[in-house]
Amino acid sequence: MNPYGKSQTRKKTRKAAPIAALALLLTIPLYLSFTGDSSSSHQTFPSRAELHQCDLFSGEWVPNPDGPYYTNETCNAIQEHQNCMRFGRPDTGYLKWRWKPDACELPLFQPDRFLKLVRGKSLAFVGDSVARNHMQSLLCLLSKVAHPIEWSDPLGKQIQYHYKEHDFNISIFWTPFLVKTGILDPSLGRPFDLYLDEFDDTWSNQIAQFHYVIISAGHWFFRPSYFHLQRRLHGCLYCPEPDSNITHLTPAFAHRWAFRTAFRAINGAAGYKGVTFVRTFAPSHFEGGAWDKGGNCLRTKPFTRNETSLDEKALEFYTIQLEELGIARTQNRGRRFVLFDTTKPMVLRPDGHPSIYGHLPGAKLVMSNDCVHWCLPGPIDAWSDFLQELLRREVVGN
């Protein structure tokens, strides 16, 4: 599956991982970190608090007849391509589930409680359109009790929402590759230029002002790109040059470099004393073909853990994020990095995407069946349940 680039068939070198087995991967950032691309390794151990906290991200989706908690009529923060209610999605069962961790309860999002946790604080989302999807879900959940003042920079790379009565700000930084890039305009018809070892200063120079940062990225790394290291062309993905002229590399190569560089920017950010939540890759659910070969996502209920598996590319991205998180945790103990694992819960939600219900029938779109983003309201609202509990742990401990 290649959500954005040209279709490509690759020889499989790794079997898909059953969801139950993914719990083992969570030990990577806590106990064992890999340095560089070699086989050398070093150990880093979790705090006592981490050892005794319930794992929020291992569990199942269970029925929740009370959902949803907002609609497209009560929230104006829903973008068209996630507005499944407006565009006629006929089933509503996908709105009637909540996440239940195996070893504890995850409280549902309570906007008043959340705003008390974040009073006097600031929160930044750093990433791509799925990060924006998450932020808009949070805005909708908060809209039951509060409405912010919106501001954006002239280029639209940063948007801020100010909740004056609660002394709380939410910002989003548009940075789909996390690192310095060339012009991000797909209509130009050429690969993007990614400077994989250079910071994207549109966000890295500003994070010192934030108490909490949620960083994420994934699906854009499947787009055609040129990769630069030390200001020299190092290789490419889906580029037009023949193999003899340039090294053809994988999306995982750029994905690892991007997270390593982003974490280096955070560790080195002067004055930053906040908490960085590393939100892991939320997989897409194309079935019956790739995104550009008729693939779609028409299921109407979640999987159980034993019914599905994480495909090779998603597993590779997920593993890279865990490994790089482990490395980041060892490089500067003055910075706090927290795992925000959306991979394991969301691989079980093939029913939560817009599919054909993110646009009018017959609309001409690059991706006519959207199995990457999430309906609002929808299963992505559970991410705010996770965030509320993660923030509670930061404020009051376990």
At 328 the three-state DSSP class reads helix
Say what the pLDDT of residue 14 is. 41
At 319 the three-state DSSP class reads helix
Please spell the DSSP secondary structure of 67-103, one letter per residue: --S--TTT-S---GGG-TTTTT----GGGSEEEEESS
Average pLDDT over residues 32-37: 31
> By C-alpha distance, which of 64, 133, 134, 66 is closest to 99?
64
Cβ(26)–Cβ(341) below 8 Å: yes
Instruction: Select which of 137, 373, 381, 385 is catalytic.
Output: 373
- Give the start-to-end residue ranges of the domains of the chain: 67-396
Beta bridge partners of 337: 276
- Strands 179-181 and 149-152 come out as unpaired
Has 129 been annotated as catalytic? yes
Average pLDDT over residues 341-364: 90
Instruction: Select which of 370, 381, 384, 385 is catalytic.
Output: 370
- Confidence label for 245 from pLDDT (cuts 50, 70 and 90): confident
Residue 154, C-beta contacts closer than 8 angstroms, at least 6 positions apart: none
Interval 313-337: pLDDT, tens: 999 999 999 999 999 999 876 899 9
Q: How many Cα atoms within 13 Å fall on the side-chain side of residue 300?
A: 5
Interval 86-139: pLDDT, tens: 999 999 999 999 999 999 999 999 999 999 999 999 999 999 999 999 999 999
Cβ(217)–Cβ(260) below 8 Å: no
Interval 189-216: pLDDT, tens: 889 999 999 999 999 999 999 999 999 9
Average pLDDT over residues 175-201: 93
* Residue located via tokens 């550009």: 292
Say what the pLDDT of residue 15 is. 45
CA separation for the pair 98, 19 (Å, rounded): 18
Residue 41 in this model has a pLDDT that exceeds 50? no
| Per-residue DSSP letter, 259 | H
Q: What CATH topology corresponds to 67-396?
A: Rossmann fold (3.40.50)
Has 147 been annotated as catalytic? no
> By C-alpha distance, which of 89, 53, 47 is closest to 68?
89
Residue 326, C-beta contacts closer than 8 angstroms, at least 6 positions apart: 28, 29, 30, 32, 33, 34, 44
Has 370 been annotated as catalytic? yes
Give the residue with greater pLDDT, 33 vs 159.
Answer: 159
Q: Which amino acid is at 307?
A: E
Instruction: Select which of 55, 129, 143, 162 is catalytic.
Output: 129
Beta bridge partners of 193: 226
Say what the pLDDT of residue 52 is. 59
CA separation for the pair 287, 302 (Å, rounded): 15
Q: Give the H or E element holding residue 340.
A: strand 336-340
